[in-house]
Every structure is written in structure tokens, then in C-alpha cells.
Chains A and B, each alone.
Chain A
């Protein structure tokens, strides 16, 4: 039996065609009905035009696209013999704004996707307060970010060699205050306990926060241990709390970007992507596994890559990033240079790769520059990893996870747990 389900609220929409056998999902076909051709648009332009155009692939992870783009150019310059030593200030500011973007995205996933969709699955009317909470808290953290980035979405403050802003102490304190407000919101409304207690693994069972609602609603559906996929994880971006690497067969290995391959698909503009010819999961769970996050690893040992742990990894990452962002500001050296590349070289030829961890997983930009112009530009987005239809030997990550669901509604929720972005997938 075939059932079609339309999925919206994913920065566009997707259509899922479910094939049911014996009342359970047997296979899924994912269709993205939108294409803009951003990679074609980038061709033959000046190398730095990518920093203005590529971020506009996505309204929600645009900043990650900017950072991936600027890293690709910097990598290319390095390969052309022009070394750029970013100051710790520039690195920290980029990490800070990137973290803020991931935090706001996770907040929206929790309040605009997880809670309303779980309510609907349980035949409960979603609370009106979810929107207000999502709006207030994501707004606050985005404000902290825009002190340095100028605006969000779609800023361009990261430039080859650093950043354009030169924040004063006052501005840094302003950002810290906004971050503290976001943390207070998390403690009072979401976690229901204070953040230190959470980090010390205090039980959340007594919590009256919204996190408890999420657990309750999942348990009622009895889908916590469903959603298992291939148990293979990959991450390409790296900083203090994210580690690059690939995890398969219970082992962590170093990555080799030359093993990443994009594949055209018949009848679709969404390209699939593999690493060493295999499907890999990206996103908060993958990052937690590669960074050896104890809270997540211990749960993983029991539940494997299931719905529950995928959701928990996203929540845990949001809390970790809030603390990390605070630390970045506390250790910022405003007196250092913002940008160490004063003149952008003309007419050079090179090739560069920039990887970054975006809210939904690893994002890779590759630029091939000839005589200062873009000869070819490749964008590999997180959703391409998770939503790939798979290879001839195995199904893609999300498809595998949806198999065995007992209804189209349930499977659609499993799909949404990956935090889908339609705009990014096809771009």
C-alpha cells in the first residue's frame, strides 16, 4: 500500500511516499519540489561573491554557509601560498556567532517542530505558548549574535582573514547579558532545573520544564527506541566541543575528505552524498558521538541511534553550546586584530574546502578558483547526508530510520527528528 504525506515547515516542503507492508513502513521515497541552482549561479563570479550569495541558500543556517564559504576561500589562499593566521579574536567571534545560530535553530526545532508535532501525534492541541517561547528565546540569542554579525539572517561580517567588526567591551557585555537571559529561559522554562545541575547529570524526572513534556509525549507514543538507522556518524567541522571524524562499527576514525562523493539522482535535483561509498548520519547525535560526550554515549550504549537519543543529543548540544558561547566571550581579546588579510589578492588560481558544523550537521563548501573567478562551486549540505535515498546496497539514513513505523504520521515525525531543511537539500 502506498501513502503520500506532505511535510511542511522545513524551509519549504517535501513529499514522502510511503510503501507499507503488513501495516509497517517498508520503504520511503523522498521528493523535494524546489530547486534554485545556486551552484550554477556562483560560477564565473568573483571568488568572494560566494560570501554574499551562498549564505542565501538557507534562511535558517545562512551563517554556517557564510563561514563555510569564507573557510573555503582561506583554505584556497593557503594552498596558493598565502598564509592567513586568523587571530584568536576572529576565531572566537566566528565560533560565537556560529554557536548562536545553532542554538536558535535548536530552540525553534524544539518549540516549533517537536512540541507541536508530538502534541498532534498524541491528539492534543499544541499550546499557544510554544510560539511565544520560541520567538522570545531564539530572538534573544540572535540579538547577542547580531552585535557582532550586524544582522541575522543573512549577514556577511566574516571576511577572508577574519571579521569586519571590532567590538568594544561594552558590546561584549551586552552580548553576555543577552546570553545570560537565554540561559535563564532554558533553566526556568525548558529544563526546569538550573544549568549546573543539568551538567552534573541531575535527574530530569522531577522537572516541570518543557523537556518533561517532550519525554512524556514520546513515551506515550512508545517511539523512543524506534528510528534506528545505520549507526554510522560523521562530522567535518572542528572546534573545542565538536571533533571531526567518522564513527562506524563502534570505532572512531580520522576523516579523509577525498572519500566524500556526491551522486546525481534520477528525477531529482537533490544530490545524495556518501563517505567511502556508505551512508553516514550527521547532526547533533553524530557530533556527540565523535566528541565522546558521556551523557549521550551512555544512553547510546542502551538505545543506539534511536529517536529518543537523537532528540536528546540536540537538546544537550543546545545547552553545551550556550555554556561554550559564554566561555568564548569571557576569553575574548578585543585588542587583537579583527582581520589579518588587508588586501585580497587578484587573479589567483586555487582550490579550497571549508567545512563547518551547522545546526543540522556538517556543511561543506568547495570552491575552485581560476584567475580570481569561481570555476566551480560545490555545496554539500547536512540534509543531503541524512536524506540521501541511499546506495544500491543500503537505504539512506532517514529512510532506514523511518522503516518499521506503524503509521505515516509516526514516520513523518521520525523524519522531522532529523531537522529537515528543504531549501538546503536542493539549493
Chain B
């Protein structure tokens, strides 16, 4: 990996990133619209897996009216980079989300993503939407505990064999034969647990930087030999939603995209959905104008800090971090790190814990801008049709997943 040079900095600010092509012509979108409509009708005809929550009632209970809901639907449509005409479809898709069974497991983690997702964060409507996802198993969320919970998991795997979406939070420690992390009364290692559960899943979604790239546990010297899900699971479509914690809006986005289109969203070479990770933080940062004007915070607490100037010289990693935080923010969109003058630490990038960590201004850091690693053929990855019965993503992803890994290895060199 080369050190930063003026050339690489220049390249960083001019290279096209892995953006979703949002202008594919009327015919394309008309086709897509019709296939989505057809799919939603098919899903609607299926009985809900779990009737626990009625969307209309839930919205009403939360004091959210139809108008607020449609506002959310149109914002989500935009986030998924679909034309505005798809808004009614997105609104409909939410209502049939409970046809998709989801199993959520926690491995070598801090539960931060579960916290973000289910216990504290996320726009209110996203939360209701998550209640509507048929969460068949989630350790933290469900009432059952102990052996009863284990049974519930086994039941869910058997009932929805080949159909469920597996969410994975946390890294997989491979050191010491996997004994750094075990689960359940039989002390199954995280690795075995993950392989067993993913083998019956329709798709595997790795949430958070630990599950995607190994995260903090994999930081040097990686005491437990921790790796991400894509290093362990093969033969299944994998989607990575990195960041620490991952943004709940992106988790909802992926599931919603799947419900709506029957396809996984377009992914980049690191298997991240392009709708969320196609742009750098820097591209849409609220302080970008100050960067362009050359107005920087020079030291903590100076007048630049008071005036919300650009944090680049304080080591902000926004220019080399692909994520949509600057657009969707955190905690019901109340704020995000740059909003409190802290700068981005690049928490969604591979190896951020070793390469980015604290405020090392980029010019001094041993970092290569990650702008070149976008696989142009990744578009093909998500385009796998769903069977009429609902779930069942094809195996196409395998090739892409392997290609993705190879690419990231190549980048690392």
C-alpha cells in the first residue's frame, strides 16, 4: 500500500465512485415498476408469517399519520435511488414485509448494532417497519431465554429452511479452534454456528463493521483471529452493511429492496449496497462548502471549530469513507459525528481500526484512498429473480462474492 502523495489525494477527489446509475431510461423503469407491482401482488396473496403487528394500527398508535408515512416512503424511495414514481410501491412493500422471515444472530460483538437497530436508534418509522419484518429469532429482542430460545431458533431454521434472511452481527473468531466465542448449551463455536445457519438461509446480511470486515476484534494483533462473514460463508449471497454501528436505515433499505424487487440491491466489490455506499461522506457533507472555500478547523476549540468549518485537517476521514451518513445521519436523523465537530473516523471502511483510528490528518497517514476498488461488473450481482413462492435467491452471488474478495485482496496489496 502506497503512502499518500499529492497525486493520490488529487485522484481521491476526482474519481468517480460506485454510484448507482440513476438514469437508465424510461423503458427500464417502466419494466421494473411492472415487475415490482407483480411481485408485491404475489406477496400480498401469501399469508403473513407472523401477524403480530398491523402496520396501520402501529402507525396510528405511534401517532404517525398517513402523510408522515408517505413522506418517509418517498425519502426511502430516494435513498434506494429509485424514481419518485416508485413511492407508492415502497409504501406497499412495507405492508408485505412480514412475508419474509428473518433470523438475527450475534457473534463476536458488542451488541451495538442490535442497540442501534432495535433498542434505541433509527427513525421511528424504520422501527415500526422493523417490527413488521418477521423476526423469527433475535436473541436480544425475543422474550424466550435459555434452552427455550435455543429451541425457538431450531424451529425457525426448520420451518423456514432455505427461505429466511440471516442477519449476522459480530466477527467470527477463528483462533484457538474457534473457542474464543461459543454459543448455546452445546458450546457451538461461532464459526460452526454461522456455517450451519447460513447453509439454510436464502441470503446472509452482515451488519456492522465486525461482521463485514472483522472490525475491532480483528484489529492488530487480532488476538482471536477474527474475520468477517464473507471469509467464512461460501455458496450464499452475502450483503455487507458496514459502519460502527451500521445505520438502521440501510438495514431496512436492503430488506425493503428485496421485498420490492425480489432482488438484492446492486453491490460494489466489497459487497456493500451501492445505494448506501456509492458516495463518500465528503460528497454530501454539510461542511463541504468550507472545504471548497479552504476554511478549516486548525485546532480543537478554535474559531474555525466555532464556525463549523471543514474538519479535514483535524483528521476527518469523510473524503475516503463510503457511506451515506451525511445524508441520513443517526438517531432519528438528529445528528452525526461531523455535526458535533468531531470528524469522521471512517468506521465503515475495512481496517479503519488500524489505518484510520484517531485524528491522523490524511497527509500523515499511511492510507491509500479507497476510490479505485469498485467493481464495474457488480451490477450483475443482485439481478437474480425470486420464485413466485416468495423467497429463494439464486446462487449467482457466489461468483460475485468470490470476485469481491479477490478484489479486496488486490486492493490491499
Q: Real complex partners, A and B? A: yes
Return A21 CB to nearest CB of chain B, in Å.
22
Judge whether A7 is part of the interface by a CB distance below 8 angstroms.
yes
Q: Which of the residues A8, A45, A142, A340 comes within 8 Å of B139, measured between beta carbons?
A: A8
A13, A49, A56, A338: residue with the most chain B Cβ atoms closer than 10 Å:
A56
Whether A36 contacts B180 by the Cβ 8 Å rule is: yes
Interface window among B24-32, B257-265, B301-309, B368-376: B301-309
Is A40 a contact of B221 with CB atoms below 8 Å?
A: yes
Contact residues in A for B118 (Cβ distance below 8 Å): 135
Residue of A nearest to B219 (CB): A41
Query: What CA separation (Å) do A143 and B124 show in the bound complex?
Result: 12
In the complex, residue of chain A having the shortest beta-carbon distance to the beta carbon of B116: A153
* Interface pair A62/B305, CB less than 8 Å apart: no
Judged by a CB distance under 8 angstroms, whether B237 is at the interface is: no
Query: Are A13 and B183 in contact (CB-based, < 8 A)?
Result: yes
Number of A-B contacts (CB under 8 A): 228
- Contact indicator A142/B299 (Cβ below 8 Å): no
Looking across the interface, which residue of chain B has its beta carbon closest to that of A117? Answer: B145
For the side of the interface on B, what is the size category? 35 or more
Asked if A7 and B182 make an inter-chain contact with CB atoms under 8 angstroms apart, the answer reads no
Set of chain B residues within 8 Å of A125, measured between Cβ atoms: 143
- The size class of the interface chain A forms with chain B is 35 or more
Let me know if A58 and B110 touch, CB within 8 A. Answer: yes
Q: Which residues of A have CB within 8 Å of B62?
A: 136
List which B276-315 residues lie within 8 A (CB) of chain A.
299-302, 305-306
**Other-chain residue from A8, A34, A49 in contact with B358 (beta carbon distance below 8 A):** A49
| A36 nearest CB across to chain B (Å) | 4
A8 touches B301 (CB 8 A): no
Asked whether, in the complex, the Cβ of A128 is within 8 Å of the Cβ of B120, the reply is no
Contact of A138 with B119 in the complex, beta carbons under 8 Å: yes
B-side contacts of A48, CB under 8 Å: 358-359
List CB contacts (< 8 Å) of A9-29 with chain B: 9, 11-13, 15
Contact B115 A60 (CB under 8 A): yes
Distance in angstroms between the alpha carbons of A271 and B245 in the assembled complex: 27
B95 is an interface residue with CB less than 8 A from chain A: no
Instruction: Name the contact of B244 in the complex, choosing from A56, A147, A269, A338 (C-beta under 8 A).
Output: A56
Closest B residue to A38 by CB, please name it: B216
Chain B residues closer than 8 Å to A128, beta-carbon distance: 52
Shortest C-beta distance, A204 to chain B (Å), equals: 26
Q: Which residues of B contact A154 (CB under 8 A)?
A: 112, 244-245, 347
| Residues of chain A contacted by B226 (CB below 8 angstroms) | 36
Chain A residues within CB distance 8 Å of chain B:
4-9, 11-13, 15, 33-38, 40-41, 45-46, 48-49, 51-53, 56-60, 62, 104, 108, 112, 116-117, 119-120, 125-126, 128, 131-132, 134-136, 138-139, 142-143, 146-157, 159, 161-166, 269, 337-343, 412, 423
- Measuring CB to CB, which residues of chain B are less than 8 angstroms from any residue of chain A? 52, 61-62, 106, 108-116, 118-122, 124, 127, 131, 139-141, 143, 145-147, 149-150, 173, 180-185, 187, 215-217, 219-224, 226, 244-245, 299-302, 305-306, 329-332, 334-343, 345, 347, 353, 357-360
Beyond contacts A152-B331, A342-B302: 7 other A-B pairs, Cβ-Cβ < 8 A, are: A6-B185, A8-B146, A36-B223, A56-B112, A119-B143, A161-B301, A164-B300
